[in-house]
Amino acid sequence: MIVIPLAQLDQGDVELDGIENPVDINIQDSDLVEFKDDVVYHLKAQLVTGGILLTGEVGTKFHGSCGRCTAKFEQNIVNREVCHFYEDVGEQQLDVTDDISEDLQIILPMNPLCSEHCSGLCNQCGIDLNKTSCDCVAEDIADDIWGDLDKLDFWD
């Protein structure tokens, strides 16, 4: 849980630094992404007109399977633009766990790639095109070119 101790805010800004187990803040594994490392956060809460401002950053490392070549890889992600405003709340503590969890999840790639330049697998022979090449691709393109030419009607 990540909570802002509201009473302390009266004495000044409150820094919240810590780590959380991903499971504890509702960050779930998916088919393509696994979370084995701690979620690290550095936050600052301050009183502003009308409420409380929470800014800072949250990050972790995830273990992914590349959407193109299926290779396993790890990637660090950090959201440095955490920014939430809470109107005055009458409680002792303000639980911001869900908001911070969301801040991390919105920066997760929809389609994780081992590298943005990943060539992927050949869709015909299944070979890893990052490591080697095959003839399928060239043939494929050639077929497409002739296929398109066939569709053109020069004698209309």
123 is a contact residue toward Zn ion (CB under 5 A): no
Q: How far apart are CA 86 and CA 94, in angstroms?
A: 9
In sequence order, the 6+-apart residues with CB closer than 8 A to the CB of 126 are: none
The three-class DSSP label of residue 80 is strand
124 is a contact residue toward Zn ion (CB under 5 A): yes
94 is a contact residue toward Zn ion (CB under 5 A): no
We find the least distance from the C-beta atom of residue 64 to Zn ion, in angstroms, to be 10
By rule CB under 5 A, what string of x and - marks binding of each residue 59-78 to Zn ion? -------x-xx-x-------
| Cα dihedral 104, 106, 111, 114 sign | negative
Count residues binding Zn ion (CB under 5 A): 11
We find the least distance from the C-beta atom of residue 67 to Zn ion, in angstroms, to be 7
Q: How far apart are CA 23 and CA 29, in angstroms?
A: 9
Residues lying near Zn ion in the complex (CB under 5 A) are found at: 66, 68-69, 71, 114, 118, 122, 124-125, 134, 136
